């Protein structure tokens, strides 16, 4: 049986890996252009964007709501929401429900993108960098939802007067067996829903 949850409706449209240290300057520049186009295309098509970042606790996903680009087309800042940031925000006295964080690149080595971070350690705000591992974009899953609701109607399609069947077992909507059903909606042992308009 399929179960649909909110995030199950989001299907991954694409995933773009960030640069690796083995790439040359030329291919890094090309990869950066692909990253820029990937993000711009996702934004134009109203797709959700998340990134994987890797901090001292391990890999962690962050939802992105907007991006800033520099003159060369690099992402230089992102706007994000991060459910794991509430403790740090409270400790530093800031409300970062929607935060802005700068993105930096190690241009002298592998051109990997990093987020410039602040965290509270021992009562002091410490600045650092957290690598961005991968970028994802998601669509709204509209086709999935349309297909699901076409095959699983959410409303009554027809009403037929039922007659009491002496051999049938009837249950109320809480699942309790009812020996003498009165006017109302019941479920039979086989799972069929029946409606009695008057005393059967």
Among candidate residues 83, 163, 155, 91, the one with its CA nearest the CA of residue 126? 91
What is the rounded distance in angstroms from the CA atom of residue 95 to the CA atom of residue 139? Answer: 29
Does residue 1 carry a pLDDT above 60?
A: no
CATH match of 7-142 with 3.90.70: yes
Q: Where are the domains of the chain?
A: 7-142, 156-196
Does residue 114 carry a pLDDT above 80?
A: no
Higher pLDDT: 82 or 100? It is: 100
State pLDDT tens for residues 128-164. Answer: 888 888 888 888 777 887 888 788 766 666 666 667 7
State pLDDT tens for residues 47-60. Answer: 888 887 776 666 77
| Alpha carbon distances (Å) from 186 to 58, 87, 161, 182, 193 | 52, 49, 12, 9, 6
Say which range, 86-95, 118-127, 141-150, has the weakest mean pLDDT: 86-95
Give the model's pLDDT for residue 66. 83
């Amino acid at each position: 049986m399929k179960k649909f949850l909110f995030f199950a409706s989001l299907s991954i449209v694409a995933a773009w890996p960030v640069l690796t240290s083995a790439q040359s300057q030329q291919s890094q520049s090309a990869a950066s252009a692909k990253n820029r186009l990937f993000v711009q295309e996702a934004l134009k098509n109203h797709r959700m964007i998340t990134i994987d970042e890797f901090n001292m606790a391990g890999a962690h996903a962050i939802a992105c709501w907007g991006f800033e680009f520099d003159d060369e087309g690099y992402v230089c800042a992102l706007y994000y929401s991060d459910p794991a940031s509430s403790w740090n925000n409270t400790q530093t006295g800031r409300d970062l429900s929607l935060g802005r964080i700068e993105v930096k690149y190690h241009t002298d080595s592998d051109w990997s993108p990093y987020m410039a971070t602040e965290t509270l350690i021992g009562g002091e705000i410490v600045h650092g960098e957290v690598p961005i591992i991968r970028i994802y974009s998601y669509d709204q899953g509209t086709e999935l939802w349309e297909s699901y609701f076409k095959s699983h109607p959410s409303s009554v399609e027809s009403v037929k007067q039922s007659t009491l069947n002496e051999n049938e077992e009837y249950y109320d909507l809480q699942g309790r067996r009812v020996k003498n059903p009165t006017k109302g909606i019941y479920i039979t042992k086989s799972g069929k829903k029946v409606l009695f308009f008057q005393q059967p």
